[in-house]
Amino acid sequence: METTVVDVPERGRFEVRVGERVVGLASYHVENGTMALPHTEVDPSMGGRGLGKVLVAGVLDAARERGLHVLPYCSFVRHYIQQHPETLDLVADEDKPHFGLATADR
C-alpha cells in the first residue's frame, strides 16, 4: 500500500496515510511566516515502520515549499532535525538556542 503525507488545514494537521487509513498526524499552526509543530503521533500498531520519519519529512518539505520557518516544539521533530542537518535551516537562527539546536550546525 502507498504511504502518503497529506495536509488537512481545516484540522490543523498533516496526516500520514497508508492507503486510505490515517495512521499518524502532526499538528501545526502557521502565523507570521512560522509553522509551530507542537505534537506528532503514530498509531502504536504501526510502530517501527518509519512512518513518523516519513510524516516529519513531509511536514518539513511542505514548510520549505511554503517559505516557512518551523518551531519544533515536538521532541520527535527536534530529533529528526538533529539527525537531518539539511533541515536545520528551517529553524530561524534566533530560535535555535530555544530548541537546543544552536550548535547542531557546527
Structural domain contains residue 7: yes
Q: Are strands 13-18 and 21-31 parallel, antiparallel or unpaired?
A: antiparallel
**Which structural domain range is residue 51 located in?**
3-99
Banded pLDDT at 102 (limits 50, 70, 90):
confident
| pLDDT of residue 104 exceeding 50 | no
Banded pLDDT at 33 (limits 50, 70, 90):
very high
Q: What is the domain-level CATH number for residue 39?
A: 3.40.630.30
| 3-class DSSP state of 24 | strand
Q: CB-side exposure of 17: number of CA atoms within 13 Å?
A: 13
Which of 75, 66, 58 shows the shortest CA–CA distance to 34?
66
Least confident of 43-52, 56-65, 94-103: 94-103
Helix, strand, coil percentages in the chain from 3-state DSSP, rounded to 5: 35, 35, 30
Structural domain contains residue 13: yes
Structural domain contains residue 106: no
Please, what is the average pLDDT of the chain?
Answer: 94
Residues 6 or more apart whose CB falls under 8 angstroms from that of 66 comprise 35
- pLDDT value at residue 105: 44
Structural domain contains residue 105: no
- pLDDT value at residue 103: 60
Structural domain contains residue 93: yes
Q: Total domain count for the chain?
A: 1
Gyration radius of the chain's alpha carbons:
13
Element (DSSP H or E) covering residue 106: none
